[in-house]
Amino acid sequence: MAIASGITPRRDLDFGFSTDMPRHWAQGDAFKSRLLDAFSLQVPIGERLAMRSVQAFASGITDATLADAVRAFMAQEGQHSLQHRQFNDGLAAQGVAVHRLARWGQRQADGVFGLLPRHWCLALMAGVEHLNAVFGRALLRNSLDFSGEDSRALALHVWHGAEEWEHRAVCFEVLRTQTRTRRLTRVAMYAVAALLFPSQLTLTQIYLLRVDGLSWWGIAGLFKRHWRWLWGRDGFFRQQMRAQRAYLRGDFHPSQQADDATFRRWEQAMAEHGDPLRALSELHTV
């Protein structure tokens, strides 16, 4: 299966970030807010690794559609990094060790990526991209679950999630066409990503809750109270499992997973006015 074009880089978006962002912006819910804040802290490092992994094979791409898709992918990931850095500055103002965490994460990532062959790095990032795309689509579908009085952070995550969904096939397609990576390696690297991504997210979330002054017991209670929301029937993570598992199939390609109505609605709103805050509020208008 080839890649479809239609990836739109959206630049100069204005989310109105400031250094006095509310801590628990998602319905006043510390667990949900800090879950997505933890994601945001990982974005600049993740985007850099994704761009670096794809860039390593970009010069060999001769297919014009894929070359265009790679350029759009780079532009989108660059913007994600930029906007999340601005948002993360607000977290720094709350006492979060944003820069220390970034330096530490970067050192770990550089160490691992320095050891692995280039096509393994790309396979790892193709796995991360699949995790991100399915996570992004779940965010779009469930954005009301995170909706509070201040919608700036949520608009950022919905925009990012939608674009992850939009460019979901790029990394995979570069891996498929520019390397001879076997299914076993692709699946093994995905398994590594699927272990690292949630554990890193959870550890960072716990750290953020500690910054908020919660005790270990308080944090354990929060996880207990949100267990059903995450893993119960149609829970936020549980509903992603089927699409995640599809990656293990030998004939899998991200383009097989169809867009859904929420994504199309968001995409259309952005094409009409280019305002991510308004696009989010339109998703919530029946």
Q: Which 157-176 residues touch Fe ion, going by CB under 5 A?
A: 164
Q: Please check whether residue 263 is in contact with residue 141, taking contact to mean a CB–CB distance below 8 angstroms.
A: no
117: buried, middle or exposed (CB in 10 Å: 19+, 13-18, 0-12)?
Answer: exposed
Question: Which residue has the closest beta carbon to Fe ion?
Answer: 80
Q: Closest CB to Fe ion among 194 and 211?
A: 194
Q: How far is the CB of 111 from Fe ion (least distance, A)?
A: 22
The alpha-carbon radius of gyration of the chain (Å, integer) is 18
Assign 52 to helix, strand or coil. helix
Of 29-37, 61-69, 129-137, 215-223: span binding Fe ion (CB under 5 A): 129-137
Please tell me whether residue 80 binds Fe ion under the rule CB under 5 A. yes
Q: Identify which of 80, 60, 83 has the alpha carbon closest to the alpha carbon of residue 70.
A: 60
Q: How far is the CB of 167 from Fe ion (least distance, A)?
A: 6
Total residues in contact with Fe ion, by rule CB under 5 A: 4
Of 77-85, 119-127, 143-151, 239-247: span binding Fe ion (CB under 5 A): 77-85
Q: How far is the CB of 10 from Fe ion (least distance, A)?
A: 12
184: buried, middle or exposed (CB in 10 Å: 19+, 13-18, 0-12)?
Answer: exposed
Q: How far is the CB of 50 from Fe ion (least distance, A)?
A: 6
Of 55-63, 98-106, 123-131, 277-285: span binding Fe ion (CB under 5 A): 123-131
Q: How far is the CB of 134 from Fe ion (least distance, A)?
A: 12
Q: How many CB atoms lie within 10 A of CB 132?
A: 27
Q: Please check whether residue 98 is in contact with residue 89, taking contact to mean a CB–CB distance below 8 angstroms.
A: yes
Which residues, including other chains, have CB under 8 Å from residue 224's CB and lie 6 or more apart?
none
Q: How far is CA 44 from the centre of its chain?
A: 11
Q: Which 81-120 residues touch Fe ion, going by CB under 5 A?
A: none
Please tell me whether residue 141 binds Fe ion under the rule CB under 5 A. no
Q: How many CB atoms lie within 10 A of CB 149?
A: 8
Distance CA 129, CA 46 (A): 10
Q: How far is the CB of 175 from Fe ion (least distance, A)?
A: 13
Q: Closest CB to Fe ion among 139 and 222?
A: 139
Please give the span between the terminal C-alpha atoms of the chain, in angstroms, as a whole number.
Answer: 36
Q: Closest CB to Fe ion among 29 and 164?
A: 164
Q: Which 253-272 residues touch Fe ion, going by CB under 5 A?
A: none
Q: How far is the CB of 125 from Fe ion (least distance, A)?
A: 9
CA dist list (Å): 265 to 109, 132, 279: 36, 20, 8
Of 127-135, 210-218, 225-233, 270-278: span binding Fe ion (CB under 5 A): 127-135
Q: What string marks each residue from 29 to 68 as x (binds Fe ion by CB under 5 A) or -?
A: ----------------------------------------
Residues within the interface to Fe ion (CB under 5 A): 77, 80, 129, 164
